[in-house]
Amino acid sequence: MLVDHFYHLARSLQQAKLEPAAVLQAAVRGATALTGAPHGCILLVNAAGRVTDLRLNGTQLDPKVEMEFWLKLINEGLIRQVFQRSRPATVPNISVSPTWPRLESVPSLRWRGSAAAIPLLNQTNVIGVLALIHPEVDAFDEERMAALLEAGEVISEALNNALTYDALRRYPEQHPADLEEDTGQLRHDLTAMIYHDLRAPLHNIHTSLGTLELMLHANDPLMTEKLLRIAMQSSRRLIRMVKSLLDIDRLEAGRAVLHRKTTTFTALLNDLQTSVRPLAEEADQTISTAIDDDVPNLVVDHDMILRVIINLVENAIKHTPAGGAISVRAEQCSGEIVVSVSDTGPGIPATFRQEVFDKYFRIRHTERSTIEEMRIGAPVSETPDISTRGGLGLGLAFCRLAVEAHGGRIWVEDAPGGGATFAFSLPSEAAPEPERVLAMS
């Protein structure tokens, strides 16, 4: 159903972590799934009309032939039309369209069916174009176009957030002489992160509740329950984010925000299970938890420590491939209680293991794009460098501050068998009432 595709599109865009290239890839995959169109292209355009990045989905041709085909649409066809007019366009029947590119190198499969393209906007400025090809004539009817346009709004918002954050992160590199004096830069960074992290769950809530209204009239109790669950999960996540942002400010200012009470790891991990199980199931991952017999009760701020563990597990879910495993363990070691979260993801390079807990720190990788840089309606130019940046946001910074406020410490190391293990310690200061092993799968 459309709501499932919208939900997965929103989730994929959120998981793209403010990387423009990753947002583009998630967007074109989500749009093809939403509309049933097997072929898609999304491109990013700068103010001069130059194509700075491009992603394809459902390609079946030789890469050179594929690029020749889409270049025709960019320079002479549907994509150029949408860019110049800043409004959607469709080709109801490709076989009779005089403007559709016909190349001998392109199979006749691309000579029939229908196509649609929409602009991706920053207010009124076009920042990109999304184009889709469907094998059926008149496939982009009113209902399908309405869904595509709604998806376009979500994609445009995600792209704007990613581009804003990318520009902010580049500022210190482009203006090194002003770096020490630019005290407003951190505020800009925080604003960009808030845009990304808070808008994704807000959009999930908005979309779920809007569709829920329609489902109530359709009398579909199973879908109604699913939509309510999505909205509730997103709202709880939003509340956790806001609390963490407020706590970062207070903890950095030296203001005590702890509300200590006696709690158990069983209670913490049961609450963890409620929060993260749906995310793990959706990502096709397994989560196991265990508590050693000699782990005592705790005197901590239950909500804050729970948010620390949830942050670490959600971070593991994001960076662990489908079919992977995540384990959460609590044990007593040398008078401390140590909680560890291990995953089977790519791990954290040793050179970054201290910085990863700093605010605004992002692991950076640079790669060459295989797509040539283009200008709408102009000849092809040289290949650009594309910078992709993995983002860990403010979550780990909050974890460090929260753990240190409890008198503990936090670190990251290699996980046994590969991946990363994030661990933190807490002073053992409560009556030792043993816990039992809790399994979660």
- For the residues of 265-310, what is the DSSP string, one character each? HHHHHHHHHHHHHHHHHHTT-EEEEEE-TT---EEE-HHHHHHHHH
According to DSSP, the β-strands at 39-45 and 125-134 are: antiparallel
Task: Inform me whether the pLDDT recorded for 186 exceeds 80.
Answer: no
pLDDT digits 0-9 by tens, 86-142: 899 999 998 888 878 776 655 554 567 999 999 999 877 899 999 999 999 999 998
Task: Inform me whether the pLDDT recorded for 240 exceeds 80.
Answer: no
The pLDDT-based confidence of 223 (bands split at 50, 70, 90) is low
CA 194, 195, 201, 205 torsion-angle sign: positive
Calculate Rg over the CA atoms of the chain. Answer: 24
**Mean pLDDT across 52-63:** 77
Q: Which residues pair with 289 in a beta bridge?
A: 328
What pLDDT, on the 0 to 100 scale, is given for residue 366?
38
The pLDDT-based confidence of 49 (bands split at 50, 70, 90) is confident
**Mean pLDDT across 66-74:** 81
pLDDT digits 0-9 by tens, 323-348: 899 999 999 988 899 999 999 988 88
Structural domains in the chain, CATH included, are 1-165 (3.30.450.40), 183-257 (1.10.287.130), 261-359+394-427 (3.30.565.10)
Task: Inform me whether the pLDDT recorded for 211 exceeds 50.
Answer: yes
Task: Inform me whether the pLDDT recorded for 157 exceeds 90.
Answer: no
Q: Which two tokens stand for residue 205?
A: 């809530």
330 neighbors 297 (Cβ within 8 angstroms): no
Q: Which residues contact 287 (CB under 8 A, 6 or more apart)?
A: 276, 277, 280, 313, 325, 326, 327, 328, 440, 441
Q: Which two tokens stand for residue 441?
A: 């799968």
What pLDDT, on the 0 to 100 scale, is given for residue 109?
44
Task: Inform me whether the pLDDT recorded for 295 exceeds 60.
Answer: yes
The DSSP secondary structure of 364-417, one letter per residue, reads EEEEE-SSPPEETTS---PPPEEEEE---TTHHHHHHHHHHHTT--EEEEEPTT
Phi, psi of 240 (to 5 degrees): -60, -40
Distance, C-alpha 387 to centroid of its chain: 17
What pLDDT, on the 0 to 100 scale, is given for residue 410?
94
The pLDDT-based confidence of 189 (bands split at 50, 70, 90) is low
pLDDT digits 0-9 by tens, 160-177: 878 877 776 665 555 555
Comparing 261 with 216, the larger pLDDT belongs to 261
The pLDDT-based confidence of 423 (bands split at 50, 70, 90) is very high
Task: Inform me whether the pLDDT recorded for 48 exceeds 70.
Answer: yes
25 neighbors 44 (Cβ within 8 angstroms): no
Q: What value, to the nearest 5°, has the Cα angle with vertex 409 and ends 259 and 420?
A: 115
Q: How confident is the prediction for the chain on average, in pLDDT?
A: 76
Least confident of 118-127, 214-223, 267-276, 336-345: 214-223
What pLDDT, on the 0 to 100 scale, is given for residue 409?
94
Can you give the pTM of this predicted structure?
A: 0.52
**Mean pLDDT across 357-381:** 48
CB atoms closer than 10 angstroms to residue 315: 22
Length of the chain equals 441
What pLDDT, on the 0 to 100 scale, is given for residue 374?
44
What pLDDT, on the 0 to 100 scale, is given for residue 104?
63
What pLDDT, on the 0 to 100 scale, is given for residue 274?
84
Task: Inform me whether the pLDDT recorded for 27 exceeds 90.
Answer: yes
The one-character DSSP state at 112 is S
Share of the chain above pLDDT 70, in %: 69
Highest mean pLDDT among 101-105, 287-291, 317-321, 388-392: 287-291
- Ranges of beta strands (E only) in 87-145 are 89-91, 114-122, 125-134
Q: Which two tokens stand for residue 68?
A: 């020749």
Share of the chain above pLDDT 90, in %: 24
Query: What 3-state class would DSSP assign to 48?
Result: coil
Task: Inform me whether the pLDDT recorded for 379 exceeds 70.
Answer: no
Least confident of 222-236, 348-362, 400-414, 420-434: 222-236
Highest mean pLDDT among 129-133, 215-219, 417-421: 129-133
